[in-house]
């Protein structure tokens, strides 16, 4: 299959390495410097090169801020039968785009961002395949993710956004709260250092990505739950209520068991 990958960042390079030995792969990035280490694939820095390549599948690995712009740039240059796909963690605007673009599409979310996951070992990671989409496109990505040993879940666009509000918004918000009150430690303990590592990883992400994940319409409800549990904990600590603390810790252990 002829596959065009949009964006030569970490995820674009990952998919290029993954697919280039079994498929005819080209990577497009308007910044030619980002293509320096692209191996075993065509390197395109001009959109006009895309038309001659005539991809059968387009994998949009541009950053979330530019996902829709990247699609719109190449749309006139690819065959009408080309399957468009994205791997975005934020699907805002994509359902409407796909509904009007005139192309078959498939949308997935490999939930192993390069900040924290080891791309060489993904056995404990997950991937979401959106139910609305082209059958052959979904089969293609299901095969890829299965070969990587990922746990695959099928969600609608709406279910995806609800899940992301829970699985990303809560840890993002908790990490931001930790980092927001943090002070420099001369001799930090193990727990502090682990939280610090997570905070630094989150702060290395693109501001737009963090913002869009937190701007998910389902996020305010999750933040309200965090505030509720923090208020409960604060009250227990202020009262020095040992029995209430025991019950609180038991309920937390039950949640994470």
Residues ≥6 apart with Cβ < 8 Å to 45: 28, 29, 30, 31, 32, 35
The pLDDT score that the predictor gives to residue 57 is 98
Q: H helices within the chain, ranges in order?
A: 10-19, 48-53, 67-74, 94-101, 135-147, 157-164, 170-181, 190-203, 207-214, 219-239, 242-256
Residue 69 predicted with pLDDT over 80: yes
- pLDDT at position 221 over 80: yes
pTM of this structure: 0.82
For residue 86, give the nearest of 110, 115, 102, 114 by alpha carbon. Answer: 110
| Environment class of 94 (CB within 10 Å of its CB; exposed 0-12, middle 13-18, buried 19+) | buried
Give the pLDDT mean for 55-60. 98
Dihedral over Cα of 208, 210, 215, 218: its sign = positive
pLDDT digits (tens, 9 = 90+) for 228-242: 999 999 999 999 999
In the prediction, which pLDDT does 186 show? 78
Half-sphere exposure of 203 (CA within 13 A, CB side): 13
Contacts of 69 (CB under 8 A, 6+ apart): 62
Q: How far apart are CA 7 and CA 144, in angstroms?
A: 19
pLDDT of residue 117: 52
**By percentage, how much of the chain surpasses pLDDT 70?**
97
Q: How confident is the model at residue 250 (pLDDT cuts 50, 70, 90)?
A: very high
Q: Residue 114: which pLDDT band, with cuts at 50, 70 and 90?
A: low
Amino acid 65: pLDDT: 87
């Amino acid at each position: 299959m002829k596959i065009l990958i949009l964006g030569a960042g970490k995820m674009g390079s990952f998919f290029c390495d993954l697919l280039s030995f079994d498929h005819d792969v080209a990577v497009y990035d308007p910044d030619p410097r980002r293509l320096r280490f692209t191996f075993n694939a065509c390197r395109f820095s001009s959109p006009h090169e895309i038309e001659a390549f005539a991809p059968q599948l387009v994998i949009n690995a541009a950053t979330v801020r530019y996902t829709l712009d990247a699609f719109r740039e190449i749309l006139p240059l690819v065959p009408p039968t080309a399957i468009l796909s994205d791997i975005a963690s934020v699907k805002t605007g994509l359902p409407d785009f796909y509904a009007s673009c005139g192309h078959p599409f498939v949308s997935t979310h490999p939930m192993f961002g390069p900040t924290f996951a080891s791309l060489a070992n993904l056995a404990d990671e997950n991937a979401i395949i959106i139910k609305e989409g082209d059958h052959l496109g979904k089969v293609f990505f299901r095969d890829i993710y299965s070969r990587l040993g990922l746990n695959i879940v099928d969600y609608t666009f709406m279910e995806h956004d609800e899940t992301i509000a829970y699985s990303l918004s809560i840890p993002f918000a908790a990490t931001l709260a930790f980092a927001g009150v943090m002070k420099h430690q001369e001799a930090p303990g193990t727990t502090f250092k682990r939280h610090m590592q997570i905070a630094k990883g989150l702060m290395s992400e693109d501001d737009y990505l963090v913002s869009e994940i937190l701007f998910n319409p389902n996020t305010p409800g999750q933040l309200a739950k965090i505030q509720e549990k923090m208020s409960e904990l604060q009250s227990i600590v202020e009262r020095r209520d040992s029995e209430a603390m025991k019950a609180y810790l038991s309920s937390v252990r039950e949640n994470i068991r």
